[in-house]
Structure 1
Amino acid sequence: MSSVRFLSITGAAATLIALASCGNPQTPNPSTPEANGSPATTSQTTAPPSTAADQQQDVDYMTALGLMKGHLLVAKELLDQGKPEQAEPHIGHPIEELYADVENQLPERNVKDFKPTLNTLHDFVKSKPNAPEITTNYKAVMQEIDQAIETLPASQRQSPDFILSVINQILSTAEEEYNAAIANGKIVETIEYQDARGFILYANTLYQSIADQVSQDYPDQAQTLESSLNELQNALPSATPPATPVMTPEEVSTLTQTIQQTSQTISSSPS
């Protein structure tokens, strides 16, 4: 998977920044009483609210971490199947393609640099594929990614709007990977197929964190989301590609669009 693809997903952030800037409070003119220390005639809000750009940055941050987890989920499947040579690229991709998307933010968010743990896992899989340390390092890196996610406010991690935004960006990448994997009705790129499976697996796992709330507040939409996510996962039934694709790229695209449109319905509903 190319990091360029991920960056293309987040192009909407520029629009959000422009929209957000329209609502920023203006700096007082130096000639006004407020600027000179005199009492203001009306109350002013000194701390600006979180902007749409901030929100999008958090969505992008969690999306990058989610894509890492998707890679690692499918890598674990392949390791369990005794296929370390196929698992290796999926451990390498978070290092080579995704880490740069979050690296500069980690100190700002007080997150431990987990690239060394990823590198250690990658080295073991390449050089000692049967080493028991692989299991230990795999658990460690997954835990460190989870800790990086947990630095986001709980209000976001528990928000259907926020989590569905992350899911939709992850699924957009999965859709691109699935499309790249298939040519002339056959799966011709195994790695891209496996990428798509890993991303869909994590999207399903992530949805479970908000499933109860969505079911309670939006029962009709919840049914659509759950059935569509299940269909997507069934379209990629295992890390080993089927001889014939279960779904065409167009059918996978239709499901991802259904999930996106249903998510927008939830976002636009009165809170």
Structure 2
Amino acid sequence: MPVRHPLFKLALRLGLPLGLSGALISTALQASPPAHAQSHQHHGGGGGHGQELRSDVELLVVLAQMQGHLLVAQELIQQRNFSAAEAHVGHPVDELYGAVAPLLRARRVPPFLPSLEALRQQVRLNPTAPATRQKLLAAQRAIGQAEQAAVPAAVRNQPATQRAVVRALTAAASDEYAAAVAEGRVVETIEYQDARGFLLEAQRLLGNTATPQPGALQTVRAMLRAFPNAQPPQRAVLSPEQLKRLQAQL
């Protein structure tokens, strides 16, 4: 598995190449800027959890990535692939929460890290117990509650905001898929599953919008054809280039 910066999946720092290029995020934000969101560059501090998010869209994307990890973890739990599920319930704790914590504190949003940690411990120690589903649902609710508390509904529900979040999620999925596929084969299972989770969350978001976006939903579903199951096929259904071309339609 390639060694990657802890914030590879964030790719939210404008101008910083953390896997998903800053150019892609900049394009998403510039093409459809929400009125309340302000994008910033922060040049101080080191890597990892020291890098803070500053805008509504950045925060919403990271929270959506958390939900994507939990969606694919849920599938893996149902398939009794508990070791893989543990990896995905761990990503929000290890890679993502530290990036949102400063902004949550600044906005007086109650922390939800304990819910994420409790889920990881449950999957690690006793994944077949009924408590696993309960803690998964609790973690998903906690992320959703943080989203509602941190970002005003008037901003969250703007079509421009929703488009920007979906573009960032699908661009991250495209990058993950490119890292997963080599010579027509899926060689990195975790990256494949990351991409699937992000697309599942993008599909869920588009399905819940007050303003229907059928074209975007159709495109995300077309991208999901590359991911027939949480377990990757031996041969890639779509090439990374094909997936990227689909994503560019959003």
Matched, 1:101 2:96: no
**How is 1:148-227 mapped onto 2 (pairs within 5 angstroms)?**
148-151=146-149, 152-210=151-209, 213-215=211-213, 222-223=214-215, 225-227=216-218
**1:171-192 deviations in Å (ceiling 9; x for gaps):** 1111111011111110011111
Supply the AA of the counterpart residue of 1:8. A
| Contact 1:167–1:203, Cα closer than 8 Å, also in 2 | yes
2: CA distance between counterparts of 1:91 and 1:135? 12
Supply the AA of the counterpart residue of 1:142. Q
The alpha carbon displacement at 1:227 in A equals 2.1
Match of 2:75 in 1: 77
The alpha carbon displacement at 1:121 in A equals 1.0
Matched, 1:258 2:244: no
| Contact 1:160–1:214, Cα closer than 8 Å, also in 2 | no
- Residue 239 of structure 1 aligns to a residue whose secondary structure is coil
Q: Among 109, 127, 131, which residue is 1:129 paired with? A: 127
Q: Among 222, 239, 249, which residue is 2:230 paired with? A: 239
Supply the AA of the counterpart residue of 1:156. V
Supply the AA of the counterpart residue of 2:140. M
Supply the AA of the counterpart residue of 1:53. S
Distance 1:139 1:214, change over 3 A: closer
Match of 2:65 in 1: 67
The alpha carbon displacement at 1:202 in A equals 0.1
| Contact 1:9–1:172, Cα closer than 8 Å, also in 2 | no
Q: Among 4, 7, 23, which residue is 1:4 paired with? A: 7
Q: Which stretches in structure 2 are left out of the alignment for 5+ residues?
A: 17-21, 26-34, 41-52
RMSD: 2.5
| Contact 2:36–2:56, Cα closer than 8 Å, also in 1 | no
Paired-residue identity, % = 34
| Contact 2:196–2:224, Cα closer than 8 Å, also in 1 | yes
**1:33-85 deviations in Å (ceiling 9; x for gaps):** xxxxxxxxxxxxxxxx9563389710000111000000000000000111111
| Contact 1:181–1:190, Cα closer than 8 Å, also in 2 | yes
| Contact 2:72–2:193, Cα closer than 8 Å, also in 1 | yes
Match of 2:221 in 1: 230
Distance 1:199 1:115, change over 3 A: same
**1:78-124 deviations in Å (ceiling 9; x for gaps):** 00111111100000111000001101122222322111111111111
1: CA distance between counterparts of 2:249 and 2:54? 22
1: CA distance between counterparts of 2:217 and 2:227? 16
| Contact 1:3–1:97, Cα closer than 8 Å, also in 2 | yes
| Contact 2:72–2:194, Cα closer than 8 Å, also in 1 | yes
1: CA distance between counterparts of 2:37 and 2:231? 43
Match of 2:55 in 1: 57
Distance 1:155 1:199, change over 3 A: same
* Structure with max Cα Rg: 1
2: CA distance between counterparts of 1:83 and 1:5? 24
Normalised by the length of structure 2, the TM-score is: 0.81
- Residue 230 of structure 2 aligns to a residue whose secondary structure is coil
Normalised by the length of structure 1, the TM-score is: 0.75
| Contact 1:179–1:249, Cα closer than 8 Å, also in 2 | yes
Match of 1:111 in 2: 109
Match of 1:19 in 2: none
**1:107-147 deviations in Å (ceiling 9; x for gaps):** 22232211111111111111212222111111111101000
Q: Among 84, 87, 90, which residue is 1:89 paired with? A: 87
Distance 1:112 1:179, change over 3 A: same
Q: Which stretches in structure 1 are left out of the alignment for 5+ residues?
A: 17-48, 216-221, 260-271
Question: Of Structure 1 and Structure 2, which has the larger fraction of its residues in helix?
Answer: 1
